[in-house]
Structures are given as C-alpha cells and as structure tokens.
Structure 1
Amino acid sequence: MPRRTATMLASTLVLITLLCVGVFVPVPYAEMSPGPTVNTLGEVKGEPVLQIAGRQTYPTEGHLNMTTVRVTSADYRMNMVEAVYGWLAHDNVVVPKETLYPDGKTEEQSSQENAEEFSQSQESAKVAALGELGIPVTTRVVVASVVKDSPAQGTLHAGDVVKAVDGVPVKEPGDVAGQVTTHKPGEKVVFTIVPAKEAAAAEKAGKEPTATREVTITTAKSQEGDRAIVGIQAGTDHVFPFTIDIKLADVGGPSAGLMFALGIVDKLTPGSLTDGKFIAGTGTIDEKGEVGPIGGIEMKLVGAREAGAQYFLTPADNCESAASDIPDGLTLIKVDTIDDATKSLEKLRKGDTKNLPSCAKS
C-alpha cells in the first residue's frame, strides 16, 4: 500500500475514533440555559399567580417577572461534542455535574429539595412583603418533623404548636432543644402543645389556638454523644392576618422570593410599583426582607431580556458576575433588601434613572 494512502487511512481511522469518543463517551458535565419567566402580577393557565383574600387589593400593571434556569437532568449523560458546543454557545453554560447535583443526588432527591426550598421561599416572601408594609405577622414554634423510631414518634406530630417545654415558654425553635438538653438521656420531658389539627382549625377561624395539652416523653441518647434528644426538628410557622396563596407549579428553588414579595406589595398598595414597565429580577429573600444571591444569573439575564424586560433587579452579591455580560437593552439595578427594590422602583416611576443603584464591573 502506498505510504500516502496508508497515512490517509490512518488519519481517517483516528478521526473516526475521536468522533466516536466524542459522541459515545459521557463526560461529567451538565448544562444550564435560560428558562421561562413568569409575571408574578399575571396569570398562568388562566389562574392568578398571586391570590389574596380577606384584604383589599388594588389593580396592577406592567411586569414583575421572576426568572428561571433550565438544567439537564441528573441522569443525563452529556458527551464531549455536546459539552464543547455548550462551551462555545453564548447563551448556555456547561458546568461540572457535581455543581448542580452534589454528593451524587438523584433527580428525585434534587426535585424534592428544590420543592422544599420553593415552598420556604414563598413563606419568607409573604412575611417580608407584609413587613415592608408594616402589617404584623404572628410567628409560632411548631414541630417541623418527627424522626422515625424516635421517642417522639406517635406522640408529637408535624404541625403541633409547641407552647412550652417543662413549663418554660418557647419563643424560638432553638428554645426546644435547649430545654430538652438540660435533661439526661432516660429522663422525662414535658411538652405543652396545641395539636396540629386544633391549631389549623383555629387559624382557619381567624382565632388564636388556646386549647393546650401536656405530653410527656422519655428522652433518648443522641448518636453523637450523651446529649438527650426526643427526635423532633423544631421550626417556625406564621399566622397571616389574611390569605395569600402563590399558585405556580413546575418551579423549584428559592430564587423567586424577591419577585413574589414585590408582587404581593404591589397588589396590596394603591397605584403601580412598575408604572407599566417590564421589570424582571431574581434573588432569595428572608423574613427580614434581605435579598440573597442565586445561581445562573447570566442565564436569567438572557431569559429576561428575551421576554422583553427593560430592567433587572439583581442581588448585590450577583452584581459582579451579572455586569460582566449584560444583554443589550437591559439595565441592572442592585438590591440588598426589599426596601432597596421598592425605593428603586419609585425612582423609576419618577424618571430618576440616573440615581438607580447599578451593578458595575470590578
């Protein structure tokens, strides 16, 4: 065989091998891309996203859009060709798979965690919004969960309101563990509770639950040492002065908190926060109204601009990365708190765009 022919044949075989490797051999990466945006002031499938009953609401206009990111599933096996394409594509980001699915989490585990975070973000958004408006919200300590086969199983239940432990009033979740650990394993501890069903019935009737009962539990020894435990996780629950429901399915994670809170504020106050403008944004929010950073900011900017957004409310801790590649026609507004956001929206309504807090490159 002529040398030239042999060289060409060898090169062809090498190329075929490389293509096969690129197509068929999986690589440990996942892809993020812009997801859909949802107007918290609008409707999804004919149903308002924010539904408020028992309190006067006001007409709204414009957009306060939450933004999302699409990610490949945990069981998706990306190949090298797809990874290279994703690296080259401007609107997509390829990241190590463990970034999205740490510790080998399954799709089901990740979805469950995202659903829990989404639910918590809604609760925090309601509290933050009412706090911004000066509307009081009652907070109480509850049994958040009961450990299987623990001393508390069958005696305490998720949703039970914990009023006191050993007669000592409980004000914060940490007070429960603090009082239990004053005992030695094997000693008895007395919980004063309002059962979950009675607490729910009282809340539905707009009353404060008062029918308490005492439950005695024998403590056990913690697996981590000699600490006494009963096997519950204490948490907080909120009693709102009126009903606020957030109706949005197929969305997970905590990053919509800020936009939900602003939507609630807009519906509960006369006039319009947006003045008819298309505003999008993102950010976690806690009960004090403080805004936290999120992942996938670059993808959310692209998705927001493609949907028509003119302004984007950006968590302060995301500002640097967001400012590195701002889509044309989109103005970033830096926010640390819900109060920052409402004040910036007021400046927009007045046309004072020069004094908006902005995100700048480092």
Structure 2
Amino acid sequence: MPRRTATLLASTLMLIALICAGVLIPAPYSEMSPGPTVNTLGDHDGKPVLQIGGHKTYPTTGHLNMTTVRVTGPDYTMNLLQAVSGWLDPDSAVVPHKTLYPEGQTAEQADQVNAEEFSQSQESAKAAALKQLKIPVASQTVVGSVVKDKPADGHLHAGDVIKAVDGTPVKATADVAKLVTRHKAGEKVVFTVIPAKAAAADEKKGKRPETGRRQVTLTTEKAEDGRAIVGIQAEVDHIFPFPIDVKLADVGGPSAGLMFALGIVDKLTPQDLTGGKFVAGTGTIDDKGKVGPIGGISMKTVGARAKGAEYFLTPKDNCAAAAKDTPEGLTLVKVDTIGDAVKALEKISSGHTSGLPSCAKSGAP
C-alpha cells in the first residue's frame, strides 16, 4: 500500500475514532439557551397572565415581558461533541452540571424546587406591587414546610396559619422559634393553628383567616445544637385585599418576580407605564420591592431581543455580565428596586431616555 494511502487511511480511522469517542464519552456539563418570553400584560394560552378581581384595573399597552432560560434536565447526559458544539454556539452556554443541579438531585426534586420558588416569587411580586402603590397588605405567620419524621410530621401542614404558641400570640415568624426553644427537649408545646384549607377559604373571601382554630400539642425533640425543635420552618404569608392570580404554566424559578410586579402595577395604575414600548426584563423580588440577581442573564437578553424588546430591565448585580455581550439594539437598564423600575418605565414611556441608569461592563453606571 502506498505511503500516502496508508497515511490517509490512518488519519481517517483516527478521525472516526475521535468522533466515536466524542459521542460515547459523557461530559459533566449542562446547556443553557434562550427560553420563551411572555408578556405579563397580555395573554398566554388564551388566558390573561395577570388576573385581578375586586379592584379597578386600567387598559395597558406595549410589553412587560418576563424572560426564561431553557436548560437541559438533571437526568440529561451530554456527550463531548455536544459540549464542544455548545461552547462554539454564541447563543448558548455550557456550564458544569453541578452549578445547576446539586449532586444527587432528581428531575422530580428539581421540578419541585422550581415550582416552589415560582410560587413564592408570585406572592412576593404581589406584595411588592401593592406596597409600591401604597395599598395596605397584611401578613401572617404560616408553616412553610414540615421536616419528615420530626414531631410536627403528620400534625402540622404547610400553609397552616400559626396564631399562637403556648397561648402567646405569634406576631412575627421569629416568634415561633423563640417560643419553642424556651422548652427543653422532651417537653410539650402547644400550637394554636388554623388549618391551611380553612385559611385559604377565608382568604378567598377577602377575610383574615380565623375559621376552624384548633390546638396541636407536640413533644419537642433535641436538635444537633441542643435546642428544642418540632421540625417546621415558619414563613411569612401575605393577605391581599383583593384576588391577584398569575396564570402561567410550565415556568419555574424565582426570576420573573420583578416583571410580574410591574405588570400588576401597570394594570392597577391609570397611567400607561410602557407608553406602548417593548420592555423585557428579569430579576427576583422580595416583598419589600428589592430586586435580586438571577442566572443565565445573557441567554435572557438574547431571547428578549429576538422577540423585539428594545429595553431590558437588568438587576444591578447582573449588569456587568449582561453588558459583556449586549445584543444590538437592546438597551440595558439597571434596577435595584421596584421603584427604580417604575421610574425607568416612566422615562421610557415619555421618550426621555437620556437619563436612564445603564449597565456598563464594570457594573458602574
């Protein structure tokens, strides 16, 4: 066999071997790419994303789009060729699998976490929006979660409203731990609660939960640090003066909080916040209106611009990363609170955009 032919054959066999290895060798990575973007002022699957009852609402125009990131699932196994392809694609990001999914987390567990975060983000968005509009929002302490095989398991349930511990009224979430830890392990503690279903029924009627009070007696257990515990996590639950529902399925995580809050503000405000402009954005939000950073910011800006967004509301702590590769035609607007975002929208709607706080690569204004 001629040397040239032998060299070509060897090179071909080597290439085939490398391709086979690339296909067969698993890579410990996950891929992120731009996901769907939905206008919180509009409809999704034929229904309004934001549904408000019992209070006057106003017509809106333009867009206030929440943005998402599409990620491969926790059970997805990427091969080496797919990883390389993702690295070369400017509109996707390949990241270590463990940065998205803690070791050992199943698909079901990941879905549960995302669903819980999405639900909590909605509640915080409602509270932040109403507080921005100076509409009073009441709050109460509830059972957020119950630890399996601990004293409260089977006796208290997520959503139960905690009215008192040992007869002492609970006025804040911290009161629960304070009152329980007054006991020694093995002593009994009495919770006065309103079951979750009864509380939900009262809230649906616009009433503070009071129906069906009952007492639950638990025997405390010693924690690793020696404190007495019953195995619950207390959380704040808001009581809204009128119904506000978010109708958006197949979305998880907390990053749509800011855009939900702004959509609520726009619908409850006579002034048209967007002035017909296409604004998108992202960011977590707490019940006080503080905006927090999110992951996958570059994927979200790409997805928003592809749908036609001209402005992108960007959490302050994501500014530097977003500014590294901003899609052409998209203006990044830095926000730290819901108040910042509302002021920015007022400038955008009026056309006075020269004073908008922008994102720079350094993260500075």
TM value normalised by structure 2: 0.95
Q: Distance in 2 between matches of 1:113 and 1:209?
A: 27
- CA deviation string 1:9-63 (max 9, x = no partner): 3222222211111122221111111111100000011100000000000000000
Equivalent residue number for residue 203 of structure 1: 203
Q: Distance in 1 between matches of 2:30 and 2:214?
A: 52
Q: How does 1:1-362 map to 2 (within 5 A)?
A: 1-210=1-210, 212-222=213-223, 224-362=224-362
Question: Any idea what SS the aligned residue of 1:262 has?
Answer: helix
Q: Distance in 2 between matches of 1:101 and 1:361?
A: 28
- CA deviation string 1:220-263 (max 9, x = no partner): 222x1432112222112111000000000000111000000000
Q: Distance in 2 between matches of 1:313 and 1:203?
A: 33
CA contact (8 A) 2:275 2:350 kept: no
**Aligned-pair CA distance for 1:326:** 0.9
> What is the alpha-carbon root mean square deviation over aligned residues?
1.5
Question: Any idea what SS the aligned residue of 2:237 has?
Answer: strand
Distance 1:155 1:7, change over 3 A: closer
Question: Any idea what SS the aligned residue of 1:103 has?
Answer: coil
Question: Any idea what SS the aligned residue of 1:233 has?
Answer: strand
Count of residue correspondences: 361
Question: Any idea what SS the aligned residue of 1:30 has?
Answer: strand
Q: Distance in 1 between matches of 2:193 and 2:109?
A: 32
CA contact (8 A) 2:313 2:334 kept: yes
CA contact (8 A) 1:59 1:271 kept: no
Distance 1:298 1:180, change over 3 A: same
- CA deviation string 1:69-105 (max 9, x = no partner): 1111222222222211211111111111112112232
Q: Distance in 2 between matches of 1:11 and 1:347?
A: 62
Distance 1:210 1:24, change over 3 A: closer
Aligned identity (percent) is 71
Q: Distance in 2 between matches of 1:333 and 1:47?
A: 29
**Aligned-pair CA distance for 1:349:** 2.1
Letter paired with 2:77: R
Question: Any idea what SS the aligned residue of 2:66 has?
Answer: strand
Deviates most, 28-37 or 190-199: 190-199
CA contact (8 A) 1:98 1:104 kept: no
**Aligned-pair CA distance for 1:2:** 4.2
Question: Any idea what SS the aligned residue of 2:322 has?
Answer: helix
Q: Distance in 2 between matches of 1:232 and 1:19?
A: 52
Which runs of no fewer than 5 residues in structure 1 stay unpaired?
none
TM value normalised by structure 1: 0.95
Distance 1:31 1:156, change over 3 A: closer
